[in-house]
């Protein structure tokens, strides 16, 4: 059943049917009703390919994230999908992993699919150096690119991210003010956001007259037991508190504390990041920074729609959303 069939049955031209489908004002109400009734009766659905050919758009948005099985990204993807769907857009989801080559491959693959916009979730896409974000600039020449949780400067690259620096500065400061002197910084990558957190942590130490010690900056794989075991093995490492860049790492620290029978937060004060289920699952429950994914996604969707509607002048290239610490049982401030 195609537009020709409908036209014939309705006794009008395909142009008219097309206008009805697109709800053009230049068709009489009477004709509209008639044609609609027939489309309904025969269960006609316009062919998306033919439509795409003409309009060069399929109302589809590409979402790339390193790995949806990560709770934070899954959450983001869920919010994005829901929101975009409300605007009549579908989502093609791609999990690129963390390797540069694959990120680039996925982007060009999506470009070939003629998606309407590209949304990248995760600060890994912000790259560590200019050469790593070149592909984003290239992509941005063809369609609007949106980054969640990272910042890349460039025309038509719109970024939404939390103030990781500020919140980490703040949390670290509070730890110091509550008497901690040796704060361990736990991290699992060198992404944009990880670097922001690290910088905030270091600034807080400096501003409070504490030394920035290389030993106390630990890069570990984000697996609970791995973190616990590494901390247990490093008997040389002395610390009275932990600022972790992810809940998984923080829970590893909690497991370490439990294993060593340390009192939390008295002997070891711990904060995580992302405010995921993990933080209410562990024991004691984890104080964690809420990165406000929902808000970041909301903003991104809003911006995407504005840009797609040609109002890109009204959309800021960078949008920062304030994070906030959700206090539970692993902090005493």
Partner DNA sequence: TTGAAAGCGGTACCAC
Partner DNA sequence: GTGGTACCGCTTTCAA
What is the binding site for a second copy (CB under 8 A)? 45-50, 52-53, 56, 58, 60, 63, 67-71, 74-75, 77-79, 81-82, 85, 90-95, 109, 111-114, 224-225, 248, 251, 255, 258, 277-278, 280-283
One residue of 9, 36, 51, 226 binding DNA per CB under 7 A = 51
**Least CB distance to a second copy at residue 100 (A):** 17
In this structure, what token pair is assigned to residue 199?
């910088």
Of 53 and 281, nearer to DNA (C-beta) is: 53
178 contributes a contact to DNA by CB under 7 A: no
Of 36 and 114, nearer to a second copy (C-beta) is: 114
**From a second copy, DNA, none, interface partner of 262 (C-beta below 5 to 8 A by class):** none
Residue 58 to residue 211: CA distance in whole angstroms: 55
In this structure, the dihedral spanned by the alpha carbons of residues 18, 24, 28 and 34, taken in order and rounded to 10 degrees, is: 40
**From DNA, a second copy, none, interface partner of 159 (C-beta below 5 to 8 A by class):** none
**From DNA, a second copy, none, interface partner of 232 (C-beta below 5 to 8 A by class):** none
Can you list the alpha helix ranges (DSSP code H) found in the chain? 3-10, 14-21, 29-42, 48-55, 71-86, 100-112, 134-140, 164-177, 192-207, 224-233, 247-259, 278-281, 293-308
**Residue 166, Cβ density class (10 Å: 0-12 exposed, 13-18 middle, ≥19 buried):** middle
Residue 132 to residue 74: CA distance in whole angstroms: 24
Of 143 and 204, nearer to a second copy (C-beta) is: 143
Residue 265 to residue 180: CA distance in whole angstroms: 11
47 contributes a contact to DNA by CB under 7 A: yes
Residue 248 to residue 70: CA distance in whole angstroms: 10
Of 70 and 156, nearer to a second copy (C-beta) is: 70
**Least CB distance to a second copy at residue 169 (A):** 28
**Least CB distance to DNA at residue 25 (A):** 7
Residue 58 to residue 67: CA distance in whole angstroms: 25
30 contributes a contact to DNA by CB under 7 A: yes
Q: Binding segment for DNA among 40-48, 118-126, 157-165, 222-230 (CB under 7 A)? A: 40-48
Residue 282 to residue 270: CA distance in whole angstroms: 12
**From DNA, a second copy, none, interface partner of 71 (C-beta below 5 to 8 A by class):** a second copy
**Least CB distance to DNA at residue 72 (A):** 38
**From DNA, a second copy, none, interface partner of 68 (C-beta below 5 to 8 A by class):** a second copy
8 contributes a contact to DNA by CB under 7 A: no
Of 18 and 276, nearer to DNA (C-beta) is: 18
Cα–chain-centroid distance for residue 243? 21
55 contributes a contact to DNA by CB under 7 A: yes
How would you label 288-303 residue by residue, b for 16+ Cβ within 10 Å and e otherwise? bbbbbbebbbbbbbeb
Q: If we measure between CA atoms, which residue out of 201, 67, 61 comes closest to residue 124?
A: 67
CA gyration radius for the chain? 25
Of 137 and 182, nearer to a second copy (C-beta) is: 137
96 contributes a contact to DNA by CB under 7 A: no
In this structure, what token pair is assigned to residue 217?
């900056």
Binding site for DNA (CB under 7 A): 2-4, 11-16, 18-19, 21-22, 25-28, 30-31, 44-47, 49-51, 53-55
């Amino acid at each position: 059943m195609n537009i020709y069939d409908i036209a014939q049955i309705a006794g009008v031209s395909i142009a008219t049917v097309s206008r009805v489908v697109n709800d053009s004002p230049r068709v009489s109400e009477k004709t509209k009703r008639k044609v609609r009734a027939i489309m309904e009766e025969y269960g006609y659905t316009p062919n998306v390919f033919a439509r795409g050919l003409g309009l060069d758009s399929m109302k589809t948005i590409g979402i790339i994230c390193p790995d949806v099985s990560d709770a934070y990204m899954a959450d983001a993807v869920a919010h994005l999908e829901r929101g975009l769907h409300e605007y009549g857009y579908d989502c093609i989801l791609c999990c690129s992993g963390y390797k540069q080559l694959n990120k680039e491959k996925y982007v060009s693959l999506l470009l070939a699919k003629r998606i309407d916009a590209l949304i990248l979730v995760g600060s890994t896409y912000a790259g560590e150096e200019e050469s790593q974000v070149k592909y984003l600039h290239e992509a941005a020449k063809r369609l609007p690119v949106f980054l969640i949780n990272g910042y890349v400067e460039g025309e038509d690259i719109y970024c939404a991210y939390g103030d990781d620096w500020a919140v980490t500065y703040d949390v670290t400061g509070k730890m110091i003010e509550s008497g901690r002197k040796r704060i361990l910084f736990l991290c699992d990558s060198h992404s944009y956001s990880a670097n922001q957190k690290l910088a905030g942590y270091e600034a807080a130490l400096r501003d409070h007259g504490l030394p920035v010690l290389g030993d106390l900056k630990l890069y570990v794989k984000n697996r609970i037991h791995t973190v616990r075991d590494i901390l247990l093995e490093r008997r040389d490492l002395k610390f009275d508190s932990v600022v972790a860049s992810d809940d998984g790492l923080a829970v590893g620290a909690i497991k370490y504390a439990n294993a060593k029978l340390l009192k939390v937060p008295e002997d070891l004060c711990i904060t995580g990041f992302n405010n995921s289920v993990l933080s209410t699952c562990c024991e004691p429950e984890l104080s964690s920074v809420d990165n406000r994914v929902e808000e970041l996604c909301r903003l991104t969707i809003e911006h995407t729609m504005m840009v797609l509607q040609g109002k890109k002048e009204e959309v800021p290239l960078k949008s920062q959303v304030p994070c906030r610490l959700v206090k539970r049982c692993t902090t005493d401030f």
